[in-house]
Structure 1
Amino acid sequence: MNNLDLLVRLAQPGDAEDIAALSRELIERGLPWNWRPARVLKAIRNPETNVAVAGVAGELAGFGIMEYLETDAYLALFAVGHANQRKGIGRSLLGWLEASARVAGAQRIRLETRRDNVPARSFYNELAYQEVAIRHNRYSDGVDGILLEKWLRPRPEGEVLE
């Protein structure tokens, strides 16, 4: 893929259904569907949240939903469609979200992935996210969650991991 073909931008209300469908297919498959179009639309309209989409040739290739808390940013959802994986789209999309978090003043980005999602864990580890905690039986099917974080600014003295 030519990087000139990739466009990363803030999502628009018209993107909500495609984002929800991609979430259902890639993230929530076999689980209760929580990120339906109405919830995605609410995130798009929330000033404390960035919903970014990556498009290739006008088609949704991936998305990320980043929520801003007091000093942290939380990557609530992140996915790249099967046909567009391993092409640098995820790196570009996450880089865009990280840059936005820095501008917003976030000290770190936190996220959680399923313990059995080895490709996701490898992706985040390659981009300097560190695994800091296990959340046992986090998902409805009994799978553990892995909490990851990446510091965008120097860690404050005495910061305790959760």
Structure 2
Amino acid sequence: MTADPPVRLAQPADAGDIAAMSRDLIERGLPWTWRRDRVLAAIRDPDTNVAVIRVDGALVAFGIMEYLEADAYLSLLAVRGTSQRSGFGRSLLRWLEASARVAGARRIRLEARRDNVPARTFYNELGYHEVAIRHGRYSDGVDGVLLEKWLRTSPAP
């Protein structure tokens, strides 16, 4: 792991790399929906944080978190295969969690494919709890697992 990987907000120039990584790592075998224009819209959306980690100019990790009324929703999080298990995902998620706290979110919700055991284990180890199964959620018939992590239980001041 690198010491304190440099997490930063994405810039419009990052959109193509993020879209390609989503296609290759998250949406593999599914219809590709997070194309460059959708990522660019998320980067420009004031209710969404798109965070990236680049090392030597190469995108190694990204996350997209949307802020809803009282909750945050982690839409996507990916780490390039050669950089997995190096702490990048953990650092990125911690950064996004800190941002959600500052934004006043009471919890973070996300969904993972039921057959993606490494992702579910990753989130479980970081305090996310599996709360529901969404049968046939994905276009290939795979179930989704809804996970959540409570950041606070009392209303924001």
Aligned residue in 1 for 2:132 = 133
Aligned residue in 2 for 1:34 = 33
**Under a length normalisation based on structure 1, what TM-score does the superposition of the two structures give?**
0.93
**What SS does structure 1 have at the residue aligned with 2:31?**
coil
The AA in structure 1 aligned to 2:129 is: Q
Cα deviation for residue 16 of structure 1 reads 0.1
Q: Tell me whether 1:12 sits opposite 2:11 in the alignment.
A: yes
| Native 8 Å contact 2:135 2:142 kept in 1 | yes
Q: Take 1:120 and 1:100, find their aligned partners in 2: how far apart are those partners? A: 21
Aligned residue in 2 for 1:160 = none
Q: Take 1:39 and 1:2, find their aligned partners in 2: how far apart are those partners? A: 30
The AA in structure 2 aligned to 1:30 is: G
Per-residue CA deviation, residues 12-35 of structure 1 (Å, 9 max, x unaligned), is 000000000000000001100000
**Under a length normalisation based on structure 2, what TM-score does the superposition of the two structures give?**
0.96
Cα deviation for residue 155 of structure 1 reads 6.5
Question: Which runs of 5 or more residues in structure 2 are unaligned?
Answer: none
Q: Take 1:48 and 1:57, find their aligned partners in 2: how far apart are those partners? A: 29
Aligned residue in 1 for 2:67 = 68
Question: Which runs of 5 or more residues in structure 1 are unaligned?
Answer: 157-162
Which runs of 4 or more aligned residues in structure 1 lie more than 2 Å from their structure 2 counterparts after TM superposition? none
The AA in structure 2 aligned to 1:134 is: I
Cα deviation for residue 56 of structure 1 reads 1.7
| Native 8 Å contact 2:73 2:108 kept in 1 | yes
| Native 8 Å contact 2:65 2:72 kept in 1 | yes
The AA in structure 2 aligned to 1:11 is: A
The AA in structure 2 aligned to 1:29 is: R
Per-residue CA deviation, residues 68-125 of structure 1 (Å, 9 max, x unaligned), is 0000000001100001000000000000000000000000000000000000000000
Aligned length: 155
Q: Take 1:145 and 1:111, find their aligned partners in 2: how far apart are those partners? A: 10
Aligned residue in 2 for 1:118 = 117
Cα deviation for residue 7 of structure 1 reads 1.0
Identity %: 74
Which stretch of structure 1 is more off in the superposition, 98-107 or 53-62?
53-62
Q: Take 1:7 and 1:59, find their aligned partners in 2: how far apart are those partners? A: 12
The AA in structure 2 aligned to 1:143 is: V
Aligned residue in 1 for 2:102 = 103
Q: Take 1:2 and 1:96, find their aligned partners in 2: how far apart are those partners? A: 15
**What SS does structure 2 have at the residue aligned with 1:70?**
coil
Cα deviation for residue 48 of structure 1 reads 0.4
